[in-house]
Structure 1
Amino acid sequence: MSKSTDRMAELSEKAHEAQDKVQHAISEDRKRLSDSVTKAKRDSIQRADKLQRDVSAKKAEASASLADVGTKWQEHVQSVKSDIGDRKAERDMKRADRAADDAESYALDAIDFAGAAIEEAEYATLDAALARTDADAKHTR
Structure 2
Amino acid sequence: MSMSTDRMAALSEKAHEAQEKVQHAISEDRKQLSDSVTKAKQDSIQRADKLQREVAAKKAEASASLADVGTKWQEHVQSVKSHIEERKAELDMKRADRLADDAESYALDAISFASAAIEEAEYATLDAVLARSDADAKHTG
* Structure index of larger Rg: 1
TM-score (norm 2): 0.47
- TM-score, normalization: structure 1? 0.47
